[in-house]
A and B are shown apart, each in its own frame.
Chain A
Amino acid sequence: MKLRPRDRARSSWWAYAVHRISGVALALFLPVHFWALGQALAGPAALDHFLRWTDDPLFKLGEWGLVVLLAAHLTGGLRVLALEILPWRGWQKNFTALAAGATLLVAVLFVLDGR
């Protein structure tokens, strides 16, 4: 596995790397998320017990990280869909930049909203 971008197409390579790493991270997170929600089966008290964790600042940081991952993977995915389905245009390379921008935007919004 080569992870040296020095000799690769810059923006497209990074788009791919971010897309892939965020995807794997989300795939690892998903079962945890389902498990936590499954706690609600034991009743609101059990869910509350878990939700108390969510006030922890470290947890909030993790949440923020998740939103970034989600937004990054989503916008990266939209880039792939555009490249594969829409007619080819040179400016589609700039989709990568758009994707990065949109990710940042969502992340910032979440931080603002959380405070």
Chain B
Amino acid sequence: MAQMIRLLSGNEALALGAYHAGVEVATAYPGTPSTEILEAIARFGDIYAEWSTNEKVAMEVALGAAYAGARSLVSMKHVGLNVASDPFMAASMTGVSAGMVVISADDPGIHSSQNEQDNRHYARLAKVPMLEPSDSQEAYDFIANAFDTSERFDTPVLVRSTTRISHSKSLVKPKEKRTLPSRKSPFRCQVEKYVMVPAYARLRHKSVEERLVELASYADNFPLNKVTWGSRRLGVVTSGAAYQYAREVFPTASFLKLAMVYPLPENLIRHFAAQVKRLVVIEELDPFLEESIRALGIKIIGKEFIPRIGELNPEIIEEKSRSIGLLGNTPLRQRVELPPQLPKRHPRLCPGCPHTGILFVLSSIGQRTKTAKSEVRATEELGLIITGDIGCYTLGAYPPLSAMDTCACMGASIGQAIGIAKTSPASKVVAVIGDSTFLHSGVTPLLDAVYNQGEITVIILDNRTTAMTGHQDHPGTGVSAQGKETKAIQIEDLVRGMGISEVRVIDAFEIKKLRSALKDSLSSPDLSVIIVRGACSVRLPRHSEPMGIDTKKCNQCGVCLMLGCPALQSKGGQVYIDATLCVGDACAICRQICARQAIALQSEIGAIKS
């Protein structure tokens, strides 16, 4: 039978590669652009896959599995590795038994993250090898190699993807089937290896340094690093997505394409550099390769012309290369100007979103409306400060809601709120956090608020899913990553169990109740929690009859437009509801806030139009 060629995303290829390489345990916490790796691998019934509570736990579960002789895979977005960095550093120290591969999916260009940190630095920090594929075929192939390298050198292996690799589809020729490695012995007691008390840790540090020396010599003969000879006038050192762009811009140059970006193949680089007249490095984000190559005493240029901010693309490389004369006399491509300023389409909360109501209440409560204009908010002391977190609700920071003053990282809202409250006695402080984020890393800061008497209100937006990354399950949903029924954590029980007595659970679509719960909580001197519960509208089975606007009653006050609901639009001064978007009675928030009762179901106002 001929090999079947498949069109796979980088993430699907990573998952299939790991499966065929005999992975037995896969763990992750969802995060763009890494989410689909676990989603794809969880579909295989003959492995164990879990959505872990957070990346730290995911790393620990994978490490435990590797200790116990099962090949394990843990995947996360770049900032997830910050959360998991503690056990990750420990994994480098203890090593593994069976192979353990850690996938970090970085996000150059900040498509959907809070920063664009370059996680190649983690390889150097933890002294572990890092592989970087440049398309789906390589994603598939490199994973198998990563498991072998992990076992051969007794180390976790990092595989770095980026948004462009994870979310691009290209052709993959997979193997026919899964091969299980000869299963290693079960967990064996090796105190000096697995128990990192100082005496043993000092010994392990020595092993790590020795391992790194071995890895560096292995890198020089690493079969996946590739030299492609073209014209010797220009040599390009590159890896990952940047390689693909550079190949297009320099079709005739010589290339050293690195599959292993740490440690570097020093002799190979020296050899390549000696063969070419001019040597450049083209890499996304930091001068990671460049600095190491320069440290070898090799003359190379990189960030002098390639930007260190944002995602690269062929245009940028072409333009910057031309500016330093690398493209010689090749004809300039014809270009037209960018279109003039066109209306932007910021991402926004969906029609029927259970976050809209509470964010509207927060934005329109007395202490906020006085400072509704951004220039006023920037200069005056706020009566109500809202610390935000990571999730769909972060979109509430945009106008017209403007109901979020901070967003740093997963779980930060509560700790930040405590700090602000301790220093701003004149202001009320509210932390807003989603259910999945709360369970990920909001529980410990809430314990801090209990212990240290933080006078704050914590609003937990409970839509019973991890919505922003595409509806993954979490400890509060009662369903596992592989669709099995399991125990569901009740957030109100958990919060009450911490000793918080002021806990309110409110329906996300009841504006009056939300407003009075918020007022009660804000007027209390104690720590209070409001759980706002309502299902994500994207998961509603089918929309009911949409709302409409009775134009005879509507006085164009525009308050409903302040919800920022995509279904509410206006044309020629008249507000109207897009019937294809409105979810009707499942939400009805606009109906509740209209002072003129001008909004009702279309049949009630007889305004049937499509």
Partners in one complex: no
Binding site for A on B (CB under 8 A): none
